[in-house]
Structure formats: C-alpha cells, structure tokens
Amino acid sequence: QKEVEQNSGPLSVPEGAIASLNCTYSDRGSQSFFWYRQYSGKSPELIMSIYSNGDKEDGRFTAQLNKASQYVSLLIRDSQPSDSATYLCAGGTGGFKTIFGAGTRLFVKA
C-alpha cells in the first residue's frame, strides 16, 4: 500500500513563529507533491506544489522536497492565527492518482 505519513499533531506555535510541517512517502515513483490546507468543516485548498528536489518559496510558505529521503516539508514563516488549520500532504502516484496523508493540525496562538 503506497502511503503518505504525517504527524497528526496538534502542532502549536506562537504568532510570528515558524511552523514546520513534515511528511514522508513510501512510493519512490511519486514525482509530484502537494500541500493542501483544510479549515474545519471546509474543503481542502492547494497551498503549494513541488516537483523537484530542493526548496520552493511562495510568500510566507516554503515547500521542501528530498526524494532520496522520501521527505516533504512545509515551512510557514510569520505564522498567523488565520493559518490555524489542518495541513494535508499529498503525493502523486502513477496514473494521476493523488494520495493524501492524514493531516497535521496546526494551532497558531495569538
């Protein structure tokens, strides 16, 4: 079973701090990785996509991919209370299927 693993949390950080979310995946054939944010009772929305080893930055968000270690991370700088949500890591397997982790709950304390 190809899986994406995340620490379920909750992860609690103070406002203004850096939140670090981590994810590992089992399918070495996965070539695309995504971070989605899901507020309680809402649907997931895409934050970041990353396809190559290294870092990808978009505003306060930085995604990091290490294919050798099968590891993906998301850093949120200057965390805000509005960032409090569940963050879902996802990996694209062969044939367009996207597999999601269970999600990490993030709380940003004001």
Residues at the site binding other proteins, with contacts judged by CB under 8 A: 6, 30-32, 34, 42-46, 49, 51, 88, 91-103
Identify which of residues 17 and 32 has a Cβ nearer to other proteins in the complex. Answer: 32
Q: How far is the CB of 97 from other proteins (least distance, A)?
A: 6
DSSP state of 95: G
Strands 61-66 and 32-38 turn out to be unpaired
Q: How far is the CB of 51 from other proteins (least distance, A)?
A: 6
Strands 104-109 and 11-14 turn out to be parallel
Strands 54-58 and 32-38 turn out to be unpaired
CA distance 109 to 28: 37
One-letter amino acid for residue 100 of the chain:
F
Q: How far is the CB of 47 from other proteins (least distance, A)?
A: 11
What is residue 10's three-state secondary structure? coil
Identify which of residues 65 and 108 has a Cβ nearer to other proteins in the complex. Answer: 65
Identify which of residues 14 and 39 has a Cβ nearer to other proteins in the complex. Answer: 39
Q: How far is the CB of 35 from other proteins (least distance, A)?
A: 11
Identify which of residues 101 and 108 has a Cβ nearer to other proteins in the complex. Answer: 101
